[in-house]
């Protein structure tokens, strides 16, 4: 006949098994099922008072300044990577993706979307075994470690930190206010003159050296130079000679 103590132990065991079965039958919800897709403020986007091209250029300079290696640039998107060595057997890589689109308010605004994914890698060591056959004992398998180690991806996760994206967007805004504003500054217009219709064209003044040479007298040749004694006085007119001659009585 079972005792009351035995019945109590059996009831406790049944309750424990039922609780264990209940816990094992209820799986944890996946993280993608927790996505709410709300319309509130997102840490993955930011509005800027600049064109989409300028915003993407500022984002590219921001990533380059922080040691990221950018892939082939495109007008509206940027892909960059950066590697981190945590220890000898673990390696991490951050993939940064940026997309720039025109803003919804005016033509001089834009929206920048940023997304960073962290990939984890670990060293995988492959072991090989060598079999040695002995006639007395039999065959013996001896594990021998090979040198064919390789990095294998063991994890991948989107970075959710608000501070991480805040620092990135603050740097982009700093570039837009300093470097990009200077690059887009309009140069002052050059002064130009317009001729009045019907007016004669203006003649450019001759250089000083050429003007002085033109005004200087031309020297006479050596054969044309005459001394004062050899110069004959001009002949008097015939009418004047007859008037000066006295008349006979």
Can you tell me which residue has the tokens 């950066």?
82
| pLDDT, average across residues 173-200 | 67
The CA distances from residue 57 to 18, 68, 164, 212, in Å, are 61, 14, 20, 59
Would you say 96 and 83 are in contact if contact means Cβ atoms under 8 Å apart? no
State residue 127's pLDDT score: 65
State residue 164's pLDDT score: 96
Please give the CATH topology (third level) of the domain spanning 34-121+150-181: TATA-Binding Protein (3.30.310)
pLDDT at 99 over 50: yes
Annotated domain spans of the chain? 34-121+150-181
State which of 39-53, 104-118, 155-169, 190-204 shows the largest mean pLDDT. 155-169
150-183 pLDDT, tens digit each: 788 899 999 999 999 999 999 999 999 987 777 6
Q: pLDDT band at 26, cuts 50/70/90?
A: low
Those residues with Cβ within 8 angstroms of residue 172's Cβ, 6 or more apart along the chain or in another chain: 46, 48, 55, 58, 59, 62, 112
Measured between alpha carbons, how far is 213 from 148 in angstroms, rounded to an integer? 90
DSSP 3-state assignment of 14? helix
> Based on the number of CB atoms within 10 Å of its own CB, is 184 exposed (0-12), middle (13-18) or buried (19 or more)?
exposed
Measured between alpha carbons, how far is 27 from 211 in angstroms, rounded to an integer? 103
State which of 9-23, 151-165, 207-221 shows the largest mean pLDDT. 151-165
| pLDDT, average across residues 4-12 | 55
pLDDT at 197 over 70: no
pLDDT at 5 over 80: no
219-242 residues labelled b (16+ CB within 10 A) or e (exposed):
eeeeeeeeeeeeeeeeeeeeeeee
DSSP 3-state assignment of 202? coil
Span between the terminal Cα atoms of the chain, in Å: 210
Measured between alpha carbons, how far is 167 from 74 in angstroms, rounded to an integer? 23
Beta bridge partners of 99: 77, 113
Q: pLDDT band at 67, cuts 50/70/90?
A: very high
State the virtual CA torsion across 53, 59, 61, 62 in degrees, nearest 10: 160
237 compared with 139, residue with greater pLDDT: 139
| pLDDT, average across residues 207-229 | 47
Would you say 110 and 173 are in contact if contact means Cβ atoms under 8 Å apart? no
State residue 240's pLDDT score: 43
Q: Per mean pLDDT, which range of 41-50, 76-85, 227-236 is the poorest?
A: 227-236
**What value does the mean pLDDT of the chain take?**
73
State residue 201's pLDDT score: 59
């Amino acid at each position: 006949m079972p005792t009351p103590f035995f019945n109590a132990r059996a009831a406790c065991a049944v309750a424990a098994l039922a609780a264990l079965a209940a816990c094992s039958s209820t799986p944890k919800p996946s993280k993608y099922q927790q996505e709410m897709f709300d319309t509130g403020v997102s840490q993955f986007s930011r509005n800027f008072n600049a064109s989409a091209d300028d915003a993407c250029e500022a984002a590219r300079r921001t990533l380059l300044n922080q040691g990221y290696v950018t892939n082939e640039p495109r007008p509206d998107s940027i892909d960059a990577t950066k590697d981190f060595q945590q220890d000898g057997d673990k390696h991490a890589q951050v993939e940064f993706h940026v997309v720039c689109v025109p803003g919804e308010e005016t033509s001089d605004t834009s929206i920048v979307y940023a997304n960073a994914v962290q990939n984890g890698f670990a060293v995988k060591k492959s072991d090989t075994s060598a079999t040695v056959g002995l006639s007395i004992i039999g065959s013996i398998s001896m594990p021998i470690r090979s040198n064919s180690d390789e990095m294998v991806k063991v994890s991948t996760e989107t970075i959710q930190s608000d501070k991480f994206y805040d620092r990135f967007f603050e740097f982009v805004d700093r570039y837009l206010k300093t470097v990009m504003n200077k690059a887009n500054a309009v140069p002052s217009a050059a002064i130009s003159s317009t001729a009045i219709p019907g007016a004669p064209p203006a003649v450019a003044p001759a250089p000083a050296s050429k003007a002085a040479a033109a005004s200087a007298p031309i020297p006479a040749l050596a054969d044309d130079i005459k001394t004062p004694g050899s110069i004959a006085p001009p002949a008097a007119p015939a009418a004047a000679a007859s008037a000066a001659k006295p008349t006979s009585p």
